[in-house]
């Protein structure tokens, strides 16, 4: 595991529990998973979720589960769909944030979906430009016609 991921995780947990209610940790873990670092994303998601629960005084494991389920689905279907598609990113991130909010009992948080869109667009284009998307140029994935 890379040392900077641990520092970034602790920083995101601190910001998420003190400054904002937006799930920064889930965002970071999904970016890692879509960049081809699925194993590190699972570890960061589990331990980061436990830190969020401890710092936020919530039930232990709730945040970890709400992070690990979308990350597992992304890593499971990483070869089925093209991760080089911006619509795929928007759907995955929006659905993950919505489900995570629903698990925590916060429904109708349209602000989180708007924040996701504003964060996903530049993140996707930067990672795509730097060729850091793990399987974006893969020809094995299913391409959606449209």
Nearest partner of 31 among 111, 125, 114, 108, judged by Cα: 125
pTM: 0.81
- Cβ pair 30, 92 in contact under 8 A: yes
Quick check: 64 and 104 in contact, CB under 8 A?
no
Binned at pLDDT 50, 70 and 90, residue 122 comes out as very high
Give dist(CA 71, CA 20) in Å, integer: 22
Each residue's pLDDT tens digit, 50-108: 998 898 777 888 888 889 988 888 888 767 777 778 888 888 888 888 888 787 777 77
Q: Does residue 142 have a pLDDT over 70? A: no
With beta carbons less than 8 A apart as the criterion, state whether 68 and 42 touch: yes
Cα–Cα distance, 50 to 44 (Å, whole number): 10
Using alpha carbons, list the distances in angstroms from residue 35 to 52, 90, 130, 145.
23, 15, 11, 23
pLDDT for 144 equals: 56
Distance, CA of 22 to CA of 81 (rounded, Å):
27
* Domain-wise residue ranges, the chain: 8-129
Q: Which residues pair with 142 in a beta bridge?
A: 81
């Amino acid at each position: 595991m890379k040392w900077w991921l641990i520092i970034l995780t602790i920083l995101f947990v601190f910001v998420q529990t003190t400054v904002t209610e937006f799930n920064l940790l889930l965002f970071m873990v999904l970016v890692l998973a879509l960049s081809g670092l699925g194993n590190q994303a699972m570890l960061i998601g589990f331990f980061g979720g436990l830190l969020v629960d401890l710092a936020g005084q919530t039930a232990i494991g709730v945040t970890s589960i709400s992070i690990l389920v979308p990350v597992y689905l992304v890593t499971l279907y990483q070869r089925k769909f093209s991760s080089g598609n911006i619509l795929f990113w928007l759907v995955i991130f929006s659905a993950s944030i919505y489900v995570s909010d629903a698990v925590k009992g916060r429904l109708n948080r349209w602000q989180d979906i708007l924040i996701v869109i504003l964060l996903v667009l530049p993140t996707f284009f930067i990672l795509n430009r730097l060729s850091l998307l793990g399987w974006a140029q893969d020809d094995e994935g299913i391409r959606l016609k449209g």
